[in-house]
Structure 1
Amino acid sequence: MKRLAYASPVNPAPSGISDYSEELLPYLGVYASITLYVEDGLRPTNPRLSQHFEIRPISRLDRDHRRRPFDAIIYHMGNSPAHLGIWRALQRIPGIVVLHDFVLHHFMLQEMVAVRGQIDLYRAEMRRRYGDEGAHIAELMLRGRFPNAAFDVPFCEDVLERATGVLAHSRYVLDRVTALKPGLATALVPMGVPLPPLIPRNEARERLGLPQDALILASFGHVNPYKRLEPALRSLRDLRVIRPDAHYLLVGSISPNYDAQGVVERLGLTESVTITGYVPRSAFEDYVAAADICLNLRHPTAGETSASLLRLLGAGRPTLVTATGSFTELPPGVAAQVDPDSSESDLILAYCCLLAERPDVAAAMGAAARAYVARCHTLEGAAQKYMEFLARVCGWGDVRPMRETPLWNVEEWRDDDTHLHIVNVLSDARQTSVPPSSPLTRTVAGALADLGVTQDDRGVLEFVARALAEIEQWANNG
């Protein structure tokens, strides 16, 4: 049996790669014995991880590998501070890198300047690697300005130098990796995601309190200056001349460096836009189902593959994407491509009008999108390609699965253990009769789990139980 060290963020680490790994690991565990390495001090909120894997702090990887070498080490690298311990471990011990973002500039700025205080070294490295232009960009970044040109200086060379192989989710990233380090073993592994449930649109809108007849546009995920909000809002303003009932939902957290509400107010769209902030998984799925048209726009790109986009496509929603980076690799008919140029707002408006006026076109696009994800982005397929690449690079020969089914079913609600514990606390206290399937209970339990609360935090759960009981009593009394 092959032994793998798997270094990745997991929940509650604030990274989309946390969800990615928690969905992939039960499928990789079919093939190998896995030790999961996480940031020092992080306590995973998914109880299944500790049930099926040994979990170790990333600072112990060196010692563990010296005492009993792993057959392979997998490092997940992305452009966020959640990968700090992983990057440091990679500098000490080479291994296979799953490169989620080709551009790691923002991560390296955080590591060198904010964490280590090496401002002069950052300046010197930017000049050495990228010349006068790099030096100019460095000065802008140090002043708190983040120009689009920062995406032209990837700062991923140190990662590639320590990588014994690179896995990526797009040809866009692999081509750039090969240009920087010819001869490095690479493989394309389409990102795997669970196929989302098909939730009836009217039921989702009823649960969310949204009007049944309105034309609803929605964007999902962390909102930052690169998510093309202003062009989308300009299109919404013009769309409302034709469809006064058009409404735009921004579902996800907002970057502290971006005044999204100010942009909405400046364009006079306060009554037409709802910013939900972070929502738990169950509410996220309802918002997806409630949307008539989804917008997944971003430019410039760090080379990332959007898991949120795949979830939208998998849910069968007609979706607009920016024609840049990995998004251009989507097959025709799966999503509408919007060029990030002077025609951007006009194209968004034209696509929205077409999809609103032609429900048959919207339905066909949604069906093609779901079929594409079901065919090309399975978790089983992703795990198999991981192992095929490891076998090739490490010289293992054939690697066969040790069992027929994944270690657990990721399509089940991921926080059901915490959810059931909350229900049990309520039941034991005889304070309420909220059923396990209650949307309120599911939403609260999901939010608690994402904040790091577990079954052991009884004081917190009892407080929540009392609050839910008071809410139910208030609702029953009208």
Structure 2
Amino acid sequence: MSDVLAVGRSPLAVYTPVPPTRTGVAHYASMLIPALQAKFDVEVISSDGQRPTANGQRIYQLGNNPHHEWIYKEAMQHPGVIVLHDIVLHHLIVEMTLARGDVDGYVAELEANHGAAGAAWARGRAAGLHSEMGNFLLPASIEIANRSSAVIVHNHYAADRLQSLGVRTPIHVVPHPYEPQHVPKGGRKNVIGLFGFLTSAKRSDVVLQAFREARTTNRDVRLLIVGEPAPNIDTSAFAGDGIVFTGYVPDEEFVNYFAEVDRVVNLRYPTAGETSGTLIRAFDAGKPVAVSDYAQFAELPDDCVTKIPLGSGEVEALMKFFTADLRDPSAAQRRWLEENSRIDLTVQGYVNACSGGLQAAVGGLKPAATFPLFPKLEVVGEVVNILTIRNIGDTVLRARAYGEPGYQLIANGHWLDLPRDLAPGETATIELPNELRGTTVTLIHAMQGIPMVEPEAWARVAVQ
């Protein structure tokens, strides 16, 4: 990918991986750079140590993997416009610090992004307490976003999530581009495609369970998995009848596999706030796609995707998608691409972000507090075994629900759910187990899926 100089246009340095680097951001850059060259004097910075030859705006393409470490460091030292392909950078921060034995560096990074809650989480993880959910609840992208002149994301969920975590920089929601692939229509009947870098967040366990149940009713159903597995994925789980796992496929060959399937599964939980490039490619190929009815994927129109609910009905709904005769979504998907994913719309979004234009920015809202690892409650009443509690903090405590971690009380070893979300100043009643009557109850805060280091009681109540 060569640099192009256009007389009279502003210089723009784009820091990005490029093909054949094994990251979706490299493919994205191969689409974006030629289009940006119509508006800027673009200089591609694709390796550590390379420096721009002209003074001008800088754009940093950031993803949540080690391919972006040098870009992250450059963006911290020389702020510009950042593009968060994942709003979660926690895994990258771990690779840069904790994975190299740098506990202090990890604690400092999490504290800079998430304050005391982040520091406490980091110390707990360094001590051996870890939940994967923490990487998503504490995305560790807040400091770099607030250092930057603008932030580009590709969906509204990502923008809202960043603002809720305290990002004050203008955030631009810019369409994710696509390029026509000319995939033949149709595909082999009863072949399900699972595409892209395979992580646990793509719910492969659910996909496998639904696939195996589908095979009990239709032995012709097959599963084609195209992409490189993450290091923590046990690929032996995919060894079975009807399953083909290709492993890594070069980008120039990737598109050919869409012609081999007649439907695509693209689940996600938890989410890093990404807009899936493989989903965009599936739309271009005109394939029925199953997505999780959650976060940014819930923004997609119902005539373009089949939305799979999280929770108890997830496997059953996915099995139906695997075995049913599906409507053809290609016309609706093509309309969506033309209205929301044209490359000229992407370029205009970049122009706005680089020029400080706010036409597509969603900045300006008052940031909400970060995730409440340290809630504030008080007991305002106790009758027999019924407690009344009040939220005296400044954040909403969420009731336990699938899809988001919820607040819970621990009362002498008993885990108790809130009856509903509890906003600042509101009260709620909680019934204690009968075996706690006549005892002194110690109350401890807990968040679903969040390990605790030496939890301290916030109240002690004598129960009648």
Q: TM-score, normalised by structure 1?
A: 0.68
**Which has the larger share of helix?**
1
User: What SS class does the counterpart of residue 271 from structure 1 fall into?
Assistant: coil
Per-residue CA deviations over 1:204-250 (Å, capped at 9, x if unaligned) read: xxxxxxxx5x5111100111222111111111112122211111111
Pair 1:113-2:98 in alignment:
yes
CA 113–183 in structure 1, closer or farther in 2 if over 3 Å, else same = closer
Alpha-carbon offset, residue 254 of structure 1: 1.4
1:148-227 superposed matches below 5 A: 148-181=133-166, 183-201=168-186, 214-227=189-202
Pair 1:316-2:301 in alignment:
no
Per-residue CA deviations over 1:312-358 (Å, capped at 9, x if unaligned) read: 1111000001122211111221101112212110110122333xx35
Aligned 8 A contact 2:16 2:60 in 1: yes
Structure 2 equivalent of residue 301 of structure 1:
271
For 2:303 and 2:165, the matched residues in 1 are separated by: 33
Structure 2 equivalent of residue 83 of structure 1:
68
Determine what percentage of the aligned residue pairs are the same residue. 28
CA 92–307 in structure 1, closer or farther in 2 if over 3 Å, else same = same
Structure 2 equivalent of residue 100 of structure 1:
85
Alpha-carbon offset, residue 372 of structure 1: 1.4
CA 132–160 in structure 1, closer or farther in 2 if over 3 Å, else same = closer
CA 277–164 in structure 1, closer or farther in 2 if over 3 Å, else same = same
CA 247–390 in structure 1, closer or farther in 2 if over 3 Å, else same = same
User: What SS class does the counterpart of residue 290 from structure 2 fall into?
Assistant: strand
Structure 1 equivalent of residue 348 of structure 2:
384
Per-residue CA deviations over 1:122-167 (Å, capped at 9, x if unaligned) read: 2355467354676346544775965223210111122113211111
1:6-21 superposed matches below 5 A: 6-21=14-29
1:234 maps to which of 181, 186, 209: 209
**Which has the larger share of strand?**
2
Structure 2 equivalent of residue 367 of structure 1:
331
Structure 2 stretches lacking a partner, 5+ long: 1-8, 360-464
Aligned 8 A contact 1:137 1:149 in 2: no
Alpha-carbon offset, residue 90 of structure 1: 1.3
User: What SS class does the counterpart of residue 337 from structure 1 fall into?
Assistant: strand
Alpha-carbon offset, residue 119 of structure 1: 1.0
Aligned 8 A contact 1:224 1:255 in 2: yes
Structure 1 equivalent of residue 372 of structure 2:
none
Structure 1 equivalent of residue 305 of structure 2:
335
The amino acid that maps onto 1:335 is V
CA 13–286 in structure 1, closer or farther in 2 if over 3 Å, else same = closer
Per-residue CA deviations over 1:85-127 (Å, capped at 9, x if unaligned) read: 1111112211111111111111111112335x42123235546
CA 292–325 in structure 1, closer or farther in 2 if over 3 Å, else same = same
Structure 2 equivalent of residue 69 of structure 1:
55
For 2:126 and 2:276, the matched residues in 1 are separated by: 25
For 1:297 and 1:141, the matched residues in 2 are separated by: 30
Per-residue CA deviations over 1:400-452 (Å, capped at 9, x if unaligned) read: xxxxxxxxxxxxxxxxxxxxxxxxxxxxxxxxxxxxxxxxxxxxxxxxxxxxx
The amino acid that maps onto 1:25 is I
Aligned 8 A contact 1:140 1:147 in 2: no
For 2:164 and 2:204, the matched residues in 1 are separated by: 32
For 1:134 and 1:73, the matched residues in 2 are separated by: 31
For 2:127 and 2:233, the matched residues in 1 are separated by: 17
User: What SS class does the counterpart of residue 5 from structure 1 fall into?
Assistant: strand
CA 36–15 in structure 1, closer or farther in 2 if over 3 Å, else same = same
The amino acid that maps onto 1:119 is V
User: What SS class does the counterpart of residue 342 from structure 1 fall into?
Assistant: coil
Per-residue CA deviations over 1:1-53 (Å, capped at 9, x if unaligned) read: 2111111111232211011011111000001101111223xxxxxxxxxxxxx
Structure 1 equivalent of residue 38 of structure 2:
30
The amino acid that maps onto 1:161 is N
User: What SS class does the counterpart of residue 235 from structure 1 fall into?
Assistant: helix
1:451-466 superposed matches below 5 A: none
1:430-445 superposed matches below 5 A: none
Aligned 8 A contact 1:134 1:153 in 2: no
